[in-house]
A and B are shown apart, each in its own frame.
Chain A
Amino acid sequence: MSAHASHAPKRSGLWDWLTTVDHKKIAILYLIAGGIFFLAGGFEALLIRLQLMYPESSVVGAKTFNELITMHGTTMIFLAAMPIIFALMNAVVPLQIGARDVAFPFVNSLGFWLFFFGGVLLNTSWFLGGAPDAGWTSYTTLALNQFSGHGVDFYVLGLQIAGLGTLIGGINFLVTIINMRAPGMTFMRMPMFTWASFVTSGLILFAFPAITVGLVLLMFDRLFGGNFFNPDAGGNVVIWEHIFWIFGHPEVYILILPAFGVISEVISTFARKRLFGYSSMVFATALIGFLGFMVWAHHMFTTGLGAIANTLFGLATMLIAVPTGIKIFNWLLTMWGGQIRFTTANLWAVGFIPTFTIGGMTGVMLAIPPADYQYHDSYFVVAHFHYVIVGGLVFGLFSGLYYWWPKMFGKLLNETLGKWNFWTFFIGFHLTFFPQHFLGLMGMPRRVFTYLKDQNLDLGNFISTIGAFGMTIGTILFVVNIFVTAASSKRAPADPWDGRSLEWAIPSPPPEYNFAQTPLVRGLDAFWIEKVAGNKGMTPAEPLGDIHMPSPSFLPFLMSVGLFIAGYGFMYHNYVVVVIGLLVTFACMFTRSVKDDPGYHIHEDEIEEKGVKA
């Protein structure tokens, strides 16, 4: 102990952000980067919809259109949705379990920088000869050299780097939640958002290796003349589909479970009631996670797997409706008998319920293989997955952001702007995607850059594009809200919403060390229990003492830059660059391994007393 440095290394400005290992700052980094990618993906979506506003129009060409849908899908899933989820997890999970930090702060920062540089690499394709154009699913053989351009190489390498970041991020949260819970915080007392993060991290642990393997195989085919997926040389195209969806299906649950978690927190806080059927919610979450792995082939009903496989996978998929239904009814009953306040955060949560229900309904319809032969790869599917991903996940993320913004930044987002943000986005969303169900049923395949005049598809497409403008306005209002809030000088109190879980027991934003003294947890909704008992704050579980903190480090950034450089080397077959890049990464790893870094201590007398009192 005595050997440890005893001063916080002083860092400021940009250097502080590049080297931080504080999970709360990493949360903000994830939010900024994910937000920027969200805007990019949204801009791509708007171009797609503009092209489809009228039949046979030529706003963008056929090839550009395919690049746009590929980048839109890939960006939204991997570079916008996942990071914003990680932003919320980083901001909230350690606080909710009463921890001072995540289990591996260094790895946490590495996870962020890997994601960031993977995303940047993928997006530079726009300026280096064209973006990937084989769809976010990159089905072979379309994604092989003979049929698609250099862009797919960016997809293959960018996603490998970003995926590594996601994988280690997930592992970090698994360990954090298992090991870092405050005394008394048993598994069955964990807030639902933490539970959801836990199951999601578990899914990441099992799903991401699958896509990594797939991408490596595809990389061998594309860069080194392999033949895994080339049918002319004995390769098999269906194997890619299996590998992709063994990752891809759990991925959609990786996305939606945290949103379920947010909704559970927000609904119960703003109804001032404990979550109805908490244990069945936990059970449902775990069950959805498990079933998520069992049903990947429902993306492949038309691949030709045969009647038996299709039927079994179809029935297994339908089963997911049961735990999902449990959740919906439990949310409704949580509000039953409550005192519901319609803050912006709660509007998003409440708007989530009917929207996500529709997405779930069409999900069950898709699970019927014979009917899916009609829906598959049509606009019906586009409508379905946007109801789930946007109406579920994005609504959930907005809800979570309005809810936790004060905790993350110490300021409350503007409610008036927030409500405008909600209504424009909500109405725009339904206008955009509801008609697409019918477009699909009326015979419009997905991923088409145009449609002909004489097919009665004009009206639906037109309405859909108008809706996209509504969502755009909503998104702009959110950005405006961020700036308005940042400019205002009003500070948020520690507990602006009359919250129930531990994060509301400490100041907004929390000090570096989160809890001055680790709290003692006495039940579900730990902070609420204390408030109802008339206590001012949590009872501490330990005496006030020095707090050990990890040192900031520039290595995670450098390590990721190394892989970033090596990525270009691989793509352009320049092995000198590959070696240089990998050397940077390995040098960082070596330094990290041999250099003794014991962190530092924050002394007892430096701890702000406004934290938790004994």
Chain B
Amino acid sequence: MKGWQQFWRQLSLFGLLALALTGCGKDELSTLKPSGPVAAMQYDLMKLSSAIMIGVFIVVMLIFTYVLIRYRKRPGQQGIPKQVEGNHALEILWTVIPFLLLIVMAVPTVTTGFELHKSYSKEEALQVKVTAHQFWWEFEYPDLGVSTAQDLVIPVGKKVQFTVTSADVMHAFWIPALGGKIDTNPGQENKIWLQADKTGTFYGKCAELCGASHALMDFKVEVMDQAAFDSWTNGMKGIQSAEPAVATSASAAQGQEIFNKSCLGCHAVAGKGGKMGPNLTNFADRERVAGILAHTPENVAEWLKDPQKVKPGNNMPNLNLDDTQVKALVDYLQTLSVK
């Protein structure tokens, strides 16, 4: 039958499609390329369940194909097929087998489930408090007295215990390559632990619809070795306890002036300023501008000129800056580094 040719052609197309797509997940993002124990445990469960399910599917498809080819009506066929009521043995068989398969999946489901819900004290794990905002992320290290935004910095090979909440609407905290997500509920706190086994930069996402720029609510996870992490912490602490550094170039100094006048109400630098917007203390070290744009002076300028254009619906107003003011601010912001 013509329909069947089409069907098989399509099925093989899927096979290719599947291979092509799996091949090219991005290391820093894909759940299929786990880079830590939590993601690895979850990946194991995903593999186990999909293997069992694909097995079931193959059985179904074998019977299906056989039946459709063998029992299609042939020209000139006479008589009425035998009217079968059922078959208890068979019906019991396909009740019991799925049960057994489910048990195979249920056991690791239970053990992994409890494993992932453990909560670690500050002796066992680095504590990080995550607060989600429309449309940016705030990270606080209560035991280190440090806080940052957009870029989460963690040491490699060490458990991190996150306590997450939201300042406005519901969001969800998700770093696919390190492990599954947890919702950030306003007015409540949730816990999740993760660990990275590789240094590098991983991509984090907001996974719960949270308004116009939900799609752009990305963040980055910088995984460093312990020494680099310690020096980062010291850098952050050093700056936060000191007076804001005095800008070096003339343009940067002018930028600092504008910043102190127009921006400090919302953004903190070196321990001074508001908490409405992301803390900019280590802005120059960031991986991305606004979580999404490549960190170039042009992109910083683009953001400053019209934040709504980059991230529709976000809470930063357009400050109506002219080009020299923007240039000055960009120069100043480039000096904000702890590295």
Chain B residues with Cβ under 8 A from A354's Cβ?
Answer: 57, 60-61, 64
Do A306 and B212 touch (CB < 8 A)?
no
Within 8 A of A (CB), among B184-209: 185-188, 190-191, 203, 205-209
Is the Cβ of B170 less than 8 Å from the Cβ of A142?
yes
A318–B114 CB distance below 8 A: no
Q: Does A435 reach chain B (CB closer than 8 Å)?
A: yes
Q: Given B105, B174, B203, B205, which contacts A368 in the complex, CB threshold below 8 Å?
A: B105
Within 8 Å by CB of A303, from B180, B185, B186, B191, lies: B185
Known: A373-B116, A376-B181, A532-B80. A443 touches B211 (CB 8 A): no
Question: A332, B214: Cβ atoms under 8 Å?
Answer: no
Asked whether B172 lies within 8 Å of A231 as measured between CB atoms, the reply is no
Question: Cβ of B20 and Cβ of A371 under 8 Å apart?
Answer: no
A374 and B42 contacting across the interface, CB-CB below 8 Å: yes
Which bracket fits the contact residues of A? 35 or more
Q: Is B121 an interface residue (CB 8 A)?
A: no
Interface contact B181-A373, CB-CB below 8 Å: yes
Find chain A residues with CB under 8 A from B312 CB.
61-63
**Which residues from chain B contact A370 at a C-beta distance below 8 Å?**
41-42, 45, 109, 112-113, 115-116, 180
* Other-chain residue from A272, A276, A330 in contact with B80 (beta carbon distance below 8 A): A272
From known contacts A237-B186, A332-B60, A376-B180, infer whether A459 and B24 are also in contact, taking CB-CB under 8 Å.
yes
Are the C-beta atoms of A231 and B94 separated by less than 8 Å?
A: no
CA distance A459 to B25 in the complex (A): 11
* Contact between B91 and A277, CB atoms less than 8 A apart: yes
Partner of B207, one of A279, A303, A445: A445
Is the CB–CB distance between A443 and B30 below 8 Å? Answer: yes
Is A353 a contact of B185 with CB atoms below 8 Å?
no
Which of B71-79, B150-158, B255-263 touches A? B71-79
Contact: A376 with B207, CB < 8 Å?
yes
Residues of A within 8 A of B215 (CB): 62, 445, 447-451
Cβ–Cβ contact B86 & A277, under 8 A:
yes
A135 contacts the other chain (Cβ, under 8 Å)? yes
A377 at the interface (CB under 8 A from B): yes
- Tell me, yes or no, whether A350 is within 8 Å of chain B by CB: yes
Q: Which residues of B contact A350 (CB under 8 A)?
A: 68
Q: Kindly state whether residue A427 has any CB partner on chain B within 8 Å.
A: yes
Question: Could you say which residues of chain B place their CB within 8 Å of the CB of A54?
Answer: none
Judged by a CB distance under 8 angstroms, whether A90 is at the interface is no
Are B81 and A271 interface neighbours, CB within 8 A?
A: yes
Residue of A nearest to B292 (CB): A452
- A271-B81, A337-B81, A377-B172 known; A455 and B99 CB under 8 Å? no
Q: Is B84's CB under 8 angstroms from A337's CB? A: yes
Tell me the B206-230 residues at the A interface (CB within 8 Å): 206-216, 218
Q: How far is the CA of A451 from the CA of B29 in the complex (A)?
A: 13
**Interface set, chain B 266-302, CB cutoff 8 A to A:** 292
Kindly state whether residue B339 has any CB partner on chain A within 8 Å: no
Stretch binding the partner chain, chosen from A160-168, A358-366, A386-394: A358-366
Q: How far is the CA of A423 from the CA of B4 in the complex (A)?
A: 11
B102 contacts A by Cβ under 8 Å: yes
Q: Which residues of A contact B95 (CB under 8 A)?
A: 322, 325-326
CB-CB under 8 A for A302 and B18, given A61-B312, A325-B94, A364-B49: no
- In the bound complex, CA of A221 to CA of B102 (Å): 43
Cβ contact within 8 Å between A302 and B212: no
Q: What is the bound-complex CA distance between A427 and B6, given in angstroms?
A: 9
CA A545 to CA B205, docked complex, whole Å:
71
- Interchain CA distance A435-B22 in the complex, whole Å: 10
For B117, list chain A residues within 8 Å (CB): 306-307, 310
> How far is it, in angstroms, between the C-alpha of A341 and the C-alpha of B60 when the chains are bound?
20
- A135 — which chain B residues lie within 8 A by C-beta? 209
Q: Mark A440-473, 1 if CB is under 8 A from B, else 0.
A: 0111011111111011100110010000000000
Selected from B3, B21, B94, B208, the residue in CB contact (under 8 A) with A377 is B208
Answer whether residue B138 sits at the interface, using C-beta atoms and an 8 A cutoff: no
- A357 to B169, Cβ gap below 8 A? no
Residue A141 lies at the interface, judged by CB distance under 8 Å to chain B: yes
**Is B87 touching A443 in the complex (CB atoms < 8 A)?**
no
Q: Is A311 an interface residue (CB 8 A)?
A: yes
Interface string of A270-299 (1 = CB under 8 A from B): 011110111110000000000000000000
In the complex, which residues of chain B have a beta carbon less than 8 angstroms from the beta carbon of A307?
A: 113-114, 116-117
A294 to B260, CA, bound (A): 57
Is B321 positioned at the interface, with any CB of A under 8 Å from its CB?
no
Give B34-84 interface residues, CB cut-off 8 Å to A. 39, 41-42, 45-46, 49-50, 53-54, 56-57, 60-61, 63-64, 67-68, 71-74, 77, 80-84
14 sample A-B contacts, Cβ–Cβ < 8 Å, listed by A number:
A66-B209, A133-B212, A134-B209, A135-B209, A142-B169, A273-B81, A274-B85, A322-B99, A354-B61, A371-B42, A371-B49, A443-B31, A445-B206, A449-B215
B-to-A contact residues, CB < 8 Å: 1, 3, 6, 10, 14, 17-18, 20-22, 24-26, 29-32, 39, 41-42, 45-46, 49-50, 53-54, 56-57, 60-61, 63-64, 67-68, 71-74, 77, 80-87, 90-91, 94-95, 98-99, 102, 105-106, 109-110, 112-117, 134, 168-170, 172, 174, 176-177, 179-183, 185-188, 190-191, 203, 205-216, 218, 292, 312-313
**Which A residues fall within an 8 A CB radius of B?**
61-63, 66, 133-135, 139-142, 147-148, 231-232, 235-238, 271-274, 276-280, 302-304, 306-307, 310-311, 314-315, 318-319, 321-322, 325-326, 328-330, 332-333, 335-342, 347, 350, 353-354, 357-358, 361-362, 364-365, 368-374, 376-378, 419, 423, 427, 430, 434-435, 438-439, 441-443, 445-452, 454-456, 459-460, 463, 532
